[in-house]
Amino acid sequence: MASRIPTPDGCGAIEGDGVILIAPRGMIDELKEAGLHRLESWSGTTAGRRGGPGRGAVAPFELPCGRRLMLKKLRRGGLAARFRNDRFRGTARLLANLTLPVELAARGVATAEPAALLLQEGPSGLFQGWLATAEIRNAIDAMTWLEGAEPAGPGLLNPIVRFVRSIHDAGLQHRDLNLGNLMVRPVKGIAENAAVLDLDGARLHGGGVPFRLRMISLWRLERSMVKRFGTRGPLGTDYRRSWAAAYSAGDAALARRIMRWWPVGKILLAVHRAGW
């Protein structure tokens, strides 16, 4: 199997017992010592803890050196999940979970450092994948943080909205941006120092993300909040204008454009709520 899977630059591979482990060369020996080249070492990812509404359970795993990794099984979202939610055709999308974070770091976007990818081939060229990333210490997902935050008006999530603007400017089109895959380190009650997770299926643009796709991200962010808290959640009902101002960073024309588009998001939100 290893000869048919392109190993990303800077990575090595260990094959055995029907699976292949791909990881940065400097970590291969340590991961093998920890047993992560064997599928049974990843079994906790099917029954691990879940921080937010992202896809798949996450399980902690401590290496012999004391470094902590977060392990998860990679799953498909959307309609495809109903047919083969943990099966992927080919390996390109799975391997991108190792290479995309490196490119994002070069563009100044904070995310979890990839540590390893385990692949298992199934019938008809379908693959299953498990991903290990370095733990982001002293951080929690924004959904969990919001659940325990003191009510502070519609601008409570403005630092997160500004972070979303920065990842869009860097060219990252996230497949399913929501409060569960944005990690924050709370500082004096403010959700500062954000990082983005769950990059499976994400796309990098050469320039910034087109405006329509930016709005889809903002609508998804809102949808995740409303699904958890309802329409009268911890931000009240007047957060959209505050979000537009935070995202536009003083660009009044952009803020107005966002507000003109937001009614479309309200319609989409109503459609989704009908199915909850």
Distance CA 195, CA 185 (A): 9
Give the pLDDT of residue 53.
44
Give the pLDDT of residue 84.
62
Q: Please, what is the average pLDDT of the chain?
A: 89
If you ran DSSP here, which 8-state letter would residue 37 be given?
Answer: T
Task: Check: CB of residue 262 under 8 Å from CB of residue 244.
Answer: yes
Q: Spell out a b/e string for 180-197, using b for 16 or more CB atoms within 10 Å of the CB, else e.
A: bbbbbbbeeeebebbbbb
Distance CA 235, CA 238 (A): 8
Give the pLDDT of residue 83.
55
Q: Which fold has domain 140-274?
A: Transferase(Phosphotransferase); domain 1 (1.10.510)
Distance CA 58, CA 61 (A): 10
pLDDT in tens, 89-102: 999 999 999 999 99
Q: Give the pTM.
A: 0.89
Q: Which residues does the chain have with pLDDT short of 70?
A: 1-3, 45-56, 77-84, 151-152
DSSP helix/strand/coil, 153: coil
- Of the candidates 268, 190, 173, the one whose C-alpha atom is nearest the C-alpha of residue 227 is 268
Task: Check: CB of residue 117 under 8 Å from CB of residue 98.
Answer: yes
Domain coordinates in residue numbering, the chain: 2-134, 140-274
If you ran DSSP here, which 8-state letter would residue 177 be given?
Answer: -
Instruction: Name every residue whose Cβ is closer than 8 Å to that of residue 31 and which is 6 or more positions away in sequence.
Output: 14, 21, 23, 37, 63, 115, 116, 132
- Of the candidates 262, 258, 236, 237, the one whose C-alpha atom is nearest the C-alpha of residue 249 is 258
